């Protein structure tokens, strides 16, 4: 299957700082990427849908000013957690949909964020 990478895989930061997470599709182009969050022992929850060259669509309850998403190219989307707080500590996972396909979607390995 196609490969999606995330960087970093793990990050620890102090409260109040901002953290950027990158999601890259390595061997395919992705007009649409998705950002999910997973709290311990829970299912993945969609945070936002990122479309190349346009503004992201956020799910209800997700603050767009706190979770900044940029999808600047067909292979890269970034999620920036601004002014992170301990309650933002979670596992963040991206997924990329193959350009031209409505069903082919591949997941990144995830980024574990710990905010002290």
List all residues 6 or more positions away from 31 whose beta carbon is below 8 Å from its beta carbon. 51, 52, 74, 97, 99
Instruction: Report which of 35, 14, 34 is spatially closest to residue 113, judged by C-alpha positions.
Output: 14
Find the binding residues for another protein in span 21-80 (CB under 8 A). 32, 34, 38, 42-44, 46, 49, 57
Neighbours of 61 (CB within 10 A): 7
Q: Does residue 105 interact with another protein by CB under 8 A?
A: yes
Q: How many CA atoms lie within 13 A of 16 on its CB side?
A: 0
To another protein, the closest distance from the beta carbon of 36 in angstroms equals 9
Residue (83 or 101) nearer to another protein, CB:
101
Cβ 2 to another protein, closest distance in Å? 8
**Minimal distance, residue 74 CB to another protein, in Å:** 17
Q: Cα separation of 15 and 84, whole Å?
A: 5
Could you tell me which stretch among 19-27, 62-70, 78-86, 106-114 binds another protein (CB under 8 A)?
106-114
Residues that bind another protein (CB under 8 A): 1, 9, 32, 34, 38, 42-44, 46, 49, 57, 91, 93, 95, 102-110, 112
């Amino acid at each position: 299957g196609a490969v999606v990478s995330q960087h970093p895989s793990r990050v620890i930061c102090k409260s109040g700082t901002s953290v950027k997470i990158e999601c890259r599709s390595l061997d395919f182009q992705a007009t649409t990427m998705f950002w999910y969050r997973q709290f311990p022992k829970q299912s993945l929850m969609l945070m936002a849908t990122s479309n190349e060259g346009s503004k992201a669509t956020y799910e209800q309850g997700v603050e767009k000013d706190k979770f900044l998403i940029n999808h600047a190219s067909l292979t890269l989307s970034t999620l920036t957690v601004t002014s992170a707080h301990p309650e933002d500590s979670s596992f963040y996972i991206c997924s990329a949909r193959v350009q031209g396909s409505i069903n082919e979607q591949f997941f990144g390995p995830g980024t574990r964020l710990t905010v002290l």
